[in-house]
């Protein structure tokens, strides 16, 4: 299978971690007989330096012409004094809008080898943490009217049935590719928008009879994530709730450098990136952890290219790498062997096997 991947190496450690992810993809292509073609795209601070624009139109078009986009990281203090409309992050917002990606999907998975890094007590961690939060990305209170009149401020939380339905379908379809359990999170005991959310989710459930749908109030969900995270498989929720819950979920894994993410819309063309930043303080020092980016590439294979075996192969190779006791500096612990970014990528490649 031939796939064209737009590659945004970005700023800081972005080029280093992306390079390792591409090396892994090349090995997957060799093992499974695929062809991955990479188109480099300038976005972020590097694009400001080169073109005076965080995402020039011609670079954006390269992304829109691709089958999916792999992103390292953008931004850094070098560009702090750039006018707001031209900051590196504006390129990312422009890209999301142009791609129409309305669903941000962030896994919360604790690797057994890193269980001691979780802030949760051992008895909870031992039950397993492996779920994904599907967050609506371009609606809700963040995109409603914001107004301040005198000493009163208002922010409008608004959702239409069509907006809820399209993110709901992402939730159900994601659950179909996992353990077929979907938890819809809202605040229907208080909010009209949440009551509509719940109504639409239950209507959609009739189209996905193989998926078990449950409802949970957002305050209870926040509690359950730290009390009993093993109960969750896929969580779908609106923008602000998802923003808060996904940050909470990332912390219980204890390893931000290991966490990938995807942003999807109405097509299979998605945007895949690790959740961490550009870490300019360690850029160019071969210290970065590329695993979050490598796992983002695995998500691309699973959710955009319908290559579940290939995605499994990458995830199993990461697990084998951790089993062997190797760690980058950010997750280093006593008794482990510290490796750099390049060696980490090579060790994962060495563990890749055709599933």
* Domain map (residue ranges) of the chain: 1-102+256-355, 119-252
d(CA 297, CA 335): 29
Nearby residues of 281 by Cβ (< 8 Å), 6 or more positions away: none
pLDDT at 203: 98
Cα–Cα distances (Å) from 41 to 10, 48, 167, 327, in that order, read 9, 13, 28, 30
SS3 331: helix
d(CA 6, CA 139): 26
To the query of whether residue 243 is one of the catalytic residues in this protein, the response is yes
Please identify which of the residues 142, 180, 181, 330 carries the catalytic annotation. Answer: 142
Pairing of strands 260-264, 103-109: antiparallel
| Residue that wins the pLDDT comparison between 206 and 138 | 206
Please identify which of the residues 247, 281, 306, 350 carries the catalytic annotation. Answer: 247
pLDDT tens digits for range 286-328: 999 999 999 999 999 998 999 999 999 999 999 999 999 999 9
pTM above 0.85, yes or no: yes
DSSP letter at 254?
Answer: T
Quick one: average pLDDT of 244-259?
A: 91
Quick one: average pLDDT of 6-14?
A: 98
Nearby residues of 123 by Cβ (< 8 Å), 6 or more positions away: none
Supply the angle between the helices 14-32 and 341-350 in degrees, to the nearest 10: 10
Nearby residues of 138 by Cβ (< 8 Å), 6 or more positions away: 96, 97, 101, 102, 239
To the query of whether residue 11 is one of the catalytic residues in this protein, the response is no
pLDDT at 349: 98
Both tokens of residue 156? 């409008």
pLDDT at 83: 87
d(CA 348, CA 25): 11
Can 1-102+256-355 and 119-252 be said to share one CATH topology? yes
pLDDT at 143: 84
User: Given pLDDT bands bounded at 50, 70 and 90, which one contains residue 254?
Assistant: confident
pLDDT at 256: 86
Q: Minimal CA–CA distance to 238: which of 198, 296, 276?
A: 198
Check: CB of residue 233 under 8 Å from CB of residue 175: yes
pLDDT at 355: 75
pLDDT at 297: 98
pLDDT tens digits for range 122-178: 999 999 999 999 999 989 998 899 999 999 999 999 999 999 999 999 999 999 989
Please identify which of the residues 3, 27, 187, 321 carries the catalytic annotation. Answer: 187
Judged by average pLDDT, the poorest of 76-90, 197-211, 341-355 is 76-90
For 1-102+256-355, CATH gives: 3.40.718.10
Quick one: average pLDDT of 216-224?
A: 98
pLDDT at 255: 83
Residue where the block lists tokens 């109960």: 231
Please identify which of the residues 40, 126, 155, 219 carries the catalytic annotation. Answer: 219
Cα–Cα distances (Å) from 115 to 46, 50, 332, in that order, read 37, 43, 13
d(CA 135, CA 106): 8
Q: Minimal CA–CA distance to 292: which of 325, 320, 339, 330?
A: 330
Check: CB of residue 226 under 8 Å from CB of residue 248: yes
Quick one: average pLDDT of 19-36?
A: 98
Q: Minimal CA–CA distance to 346: which of 301, 290, 280?
A: 290
Please identify which of the residues 11, 42, 53, 243 carries the catalytic annotation. Answer: 243
Judged by average pLDDT, the poorest of 24-38, 124-138, 253-267 is 253-267
Q: Residue 260 forms beta bridges with which residues?
A: 274
To the query of whether residue 247 is one of the catalytic residues in this protein, the response is yes
Alpha carbon 187 to its chain's center: 24
SS3 11: coil
Q: Which helix (H) or strand (E) holds 236?
A: strand 234-237
Cα–Cα distances (Å) from 261 to 53, 117, 325, 345, in that order, read 25, 20, 25, 19
Q: Which CATH superfamily is domain 119-252 in?
A: Isopropylmalate Dehydrogenase (3.40.718.10)
Q: What is the largest CA-CA distance in the chain?
A: 64
pLDDT at 344: 98
pLDDT at 93: 86
């Amino acid at each position: 299978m031939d796939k064209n991947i737009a590659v945004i190496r970005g700023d800081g450690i972005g080029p280093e971690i992306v390079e390792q992810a591409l090396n892994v993809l090349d090995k997957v292509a060799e093992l499974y007989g695929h062809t991955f073609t990479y188109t480099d795209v300038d976005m972020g601070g590097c694009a400001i330096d080169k073109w005076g624009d965080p995402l020039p139109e011609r670079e954006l078009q390269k992304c829109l012409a691709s089958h999916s986009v792999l992103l390292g990281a953008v931004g850094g203090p070098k560009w702090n004094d750039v006018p707001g409309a031209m900051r590196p992050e504006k390129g990312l917002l422009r890209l999301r809008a142009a791609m129409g990606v309305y669903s941000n999907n962030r896994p919360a998975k604790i690797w057994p080898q890193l269980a001691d890094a979780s802030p949760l007590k051992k008895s909870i961690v031992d039950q397993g943490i492996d779920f994904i939060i599907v967050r609506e990305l371009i609606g809700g209170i963040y995109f409603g009217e914001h107004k301040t009149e005198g000493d009163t401020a208002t922010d409008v939380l608004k959702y239409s049935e069509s907006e809820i339905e399209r993110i709901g379908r992402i939730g159900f379809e994601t659950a179909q590719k996992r353990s077929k359990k979907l938890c819809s999170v809202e605040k229907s005991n208080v909010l009209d928008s949440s009551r509509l959310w719940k109504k639409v989710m239950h209507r959609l459930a009739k189209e996905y009879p193989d998926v078990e749908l449950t409802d949970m109030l957002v305050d209870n969900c926040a509690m359950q994530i730290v009390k009993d995270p093993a109960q969750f498989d896929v969580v779908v929720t609106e923008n602000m709730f998802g923003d808060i819950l996904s940050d909470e979920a990332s912390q219980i894994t204890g390893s931000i450098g290991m966490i990938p993410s995807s942003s999807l819309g109405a097509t299979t063309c998605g945007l895949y990136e690790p959740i961490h930043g550009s870490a300019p303080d360690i850029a160019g020092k071969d210290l970065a952890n590329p695993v979050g980016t490598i796992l983002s590439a695995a998500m691309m294979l699973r959710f955009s290219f319908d290559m579940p075996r290939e995605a499994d192969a990458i995830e199993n190779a990461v697990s084998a790498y951790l089993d062997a006791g190797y760690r980058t500096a950010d997750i280093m612990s006593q008794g482990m062997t510290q490796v750099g970014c390049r060696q980490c990528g090579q060790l994962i490649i060495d563990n890749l096997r055709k599933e």
